Amino acid sequence: MPTNIAVYPGTFDPVTNGHLDVIRRGAQLFGELVVACAVNITKQPLFSLSERLDLLKTVTRGLRNVRVESFEGMVVDYVKRQGSRVILRGIRTFSDFEAEVQMALANRTFAPEVETVFVCASLEESFISSRLIREAAALDGDVGRFVPPEVLEALRGKKRALHAQVGSHRKGK
């Protein structure tokens, strides 16, 4: 049975132009795209869950068939609760591909009816990652071309936290 709903899960810490590229393209491929912001117990995010949700809602506000939500637990369970059978994922590099295929195969083990659909990042967005953005911003790099203006402003507001992260990593080395 085909589905017209896809779920694009991630931590989006912060949301980048690369994420937005996948969101826009997913919105064209599916009748409804749920951007699902994960509560990830293995990560210490820079932005709180509510801040990430607010940023996602702001930068996707013009996309009529995109809905932003949060979730905890296994993504396949969340996908099924949404009435979907599709996980949308973006691929930037070969290492992304390897990790994403591994995750897709694991997800199929838990929920064989859920498929993962991959879209390749646009060439100009292919090297952007949230981790790169956080690290560059912590070192006062100009990340304005890699994130929406609202995210850039939010990053500026996190300057103290970003600098603290860089300081703690330097002390640990």
Q: Which amino acids are annotated catalytic?
A: 19, 43, 92, 130
What is the tens place of the pLDDT at every residue in 99-138? 889 999 999 999 999 999 999 888 777 778 888 898 888 8
> Which residues, in sequence order, are bridge partners of residue 89?
118
Cis, peptide link before residue 9, omega less than 30° from 0: no
pTM listed for this prediction: 0.88
Name the H helices within the chain: 17-29, 49-59, 75-81, 94-110, 130-138, 149-157, 159-172
For residue 68, what are the CA distances in angstroms to 16, 23, 34, 133, 147?
A: 15, 11, 6, 22, 18
What is the tens place of the pLDDT at every residue in 49-95? 999 999 999 999 999 999 999 999 999 999 999 999 999 999 987 77
Three-state SS at 128: coil
CA Rg value for the chain? 16
The domain locations on the chain are 5-124
Q: Which CATH architecture has domain 5-124?
A: 3-Layer(aba) Sandwich (3.40)
